[in-house]
Amino acid sequence: MDLTFVAASPQRFDRFWALEQACHPLPWSESNLYSCLMGNYWGELLLVDGKAAGFYLFQQVLDEATLVNICIHPQQQGKGLGQRLLQHALEQAKARDLAICFLEVRAGNAPAIALYQRCGFNQDAIRKGYYPAIKGDGREDAVLMSKSL
């Protein structure tokens, strides 16, 4: 399996957008995702054997990074690619001399929380009712996590 990482850019928007729609039950809007491919945002697209398989996006403020989005295409899940992508992303943050990484995740997303914990993230707080429910009209809590780099 050949893994390649390519920098996020507006020119690669179509690949990011296709992954966003395939991976998330409530995907971001096109304009929101597009805006995260420039400015104080950065990230990479993961190619597996030349095909888009996942991505990560950070927002950077001073020496802090916030992981705003990460995903692996459903057909590529269960192969360890999520952990490899996250570890690579954290290495890139360290290479930028960032001190800490923050993230938030749906409280009901146990696989993602387990991945973040395996990669050294600690739970800091719960943000009540932060996300719209995936099904129905309710709300879902966010788990706030961080990791020193």
Active site residue ranges: 104, 116
CA separation for the pair 140, 127 (Å, rounded): 9
Which residues have C-beta within 8 Å of that of residue 36, sequence separation ≥ 6?
Answer: 8, 43, 57, 59, 68, 69
* 107 touches 141 (CB < 8 A): yes
DSSP string, 14-30: HHHHHHHHHH-SSPPPH
